[in-house]
Amino acid sequence: MSDLPLWLAVLPLIGVGLWAWRRWHHPSFWLLVGFPITAVSVRASWRRIALGCGLTKKRQRWWFTTVPGLVASTGIVKVKRRFQRVAVDTKPFMWLPLPTRHGWRVTVHTLEGQTPGDYADAAERLAHSWGVHAIRVSSPGPGRVVLAATMRDPLVTVDQLPPSTDLLKVTVGRLETGKPWVIDFRTVPHWLNAGATQSGKSNLANALIVGLSPQPVALVGIDLKGGVEFTPYAPRLSALATCRDEAGRLLDDLVALMLDRMGVCRQASARNVWQLPPVLRPVPVVVLVDELAELYLMADKSEKDEIAKTSTALLRVAQLGRAFGIYLFCCGQRIGSDLGPGVTALRAQCSGRICHRVNDPETATMTLGDLDPAALASARAIPAETPGVAIVAGQDGQWYRARSFYVSEQTAEHAAHTHAHLTSPWAEITAHLPEQANA
């Protein structure tokens, strides 16, 4: 009894110490304390959770049963044993969970007739059963499913990461896995970025301006909002088009530039500009397009030919530009099939997909519809109070929730002025092209 006051004094100190450990050294606390407890709980609860989520199967098994019988003359009870077939619930085999930065993951062997889609359909029920933020399902091989649990949403706050030093590679945010969100134009050359007003679409373009400005690349802007978005960054832009007519002429220049580089590669027996000797390799060109729908909207039939010409030029750049160092990053609030077949054809060439919060399901379907249906559902669930959150088609073929860093217009404008000396004048880039291309 004399030790009770001492324990009453020590227990609060232990609690404060554990709270401080978890608060300021969360990774070590999670690995040494949180994860072992979680791993035991996951393994212990797997049978009943699999049953509740419909992931078990009925199987017929043989069991020994005892059948008592009474011999009347002697009053002796005789026991007979025989086989009997009974139906039992069989759960999928689960390996030991492994820790991750923001949770844990575990490999499960599927039962006969099960597919990864069965687990994807049950992902939300699994997350609620285990009390975690989310469960992501992937399949590394036949008969195996990986359940990746996120204990808390890692995208609530996103800290700035060091910029990438690789050419045409920009770190713009963080993925839900905790890894950097990197846009690599060398790996994924063309991107489609959809998002409503205040969804983070323009912030992502600002992040690209900041990331690409110090690199030896030519930046070209097509701002169909009258130039209000990209004009402040004009010192770092080699060319800027602010209306459809200017955009058409600029795209004609890009097509001519692409054909010229094609001839250079053919003469040097190179398949692309990256196989050319450094002295012959031209400067890479990144084209930033804002308000993509304005290129396809038609007020009357007199604009039909102009739209068709502009759409064809943009599509040609998307089809052939990668090999010749020309890359696209197309942004828009509204991207739908009703804008015409040109948009659908352009989408097929843009393997990079980013979908922020959108106002209509058609835009989300146009951006992510040919990917996993779960990605489409996740895009429609992005709340308005989380600007910068988007669904991203990763370079590994998977899709992820991601959030870009906040980059203000002032920061992007400062980067454009600071690195203005790296700007290649458009007249210099296109000086050797035919006169009709520069007209």
340 is in an annotated binding site: no
Q: Is 3 exposed, middle or buried (0-12, 13-18, 19+ CB in 10 A)?
A: exposed
Cα–Cα distances in angstroms (integers) from residue 4 to residues 1, 11, 13, 357, in the given order:
5, 11, 15, 57
What type of residue sits at position 133?
Answer: H
How many Cα atoms sit within 13 Å of 223 on the Cβ side? 19
Please, are residues 315 and 346 in contact by the beta-carbon 8 Å criterion?
Answer: yes
Rounding to the nearest 10 degrees, give the CA dihedral for residues 44, 45, 51, 52: 170
Cβ atoms 57, 90 nearer than 8 A: yes
Quick one: DSSP state of residue 110? P
Beta carbons within 10 angstroms of residue 243's beta carbon? 14
Count other Cβ atoms within 10 Å, centred on residue 332: 26
196 is in an annotated binding site: yes
| 195 known ligand binder | yes
Tell me the Ramachandran region of residue 318: left when phi exceeds 0, alpha when psi lies from -120 to 50, beta otherwise.
alpha
267 is in an annotated binding site: no
Q: What is the largest CA-CA distance in the chain?
A: 119
- Report the C-alpha dihedral over residues 255, 261, 266, 271, rounded to 10 degrees: -90
Q: Is 2 annotated as a binding residue?
A: no
Q: What is the DSSP string of 294-319?
A: GGT--SSGGGHHHHHHHHHHHHHHHH
Radius of gyration of the chain (CA): 30
* Known binding residues: 195-202
* Known binding residues for ATP: 195-202
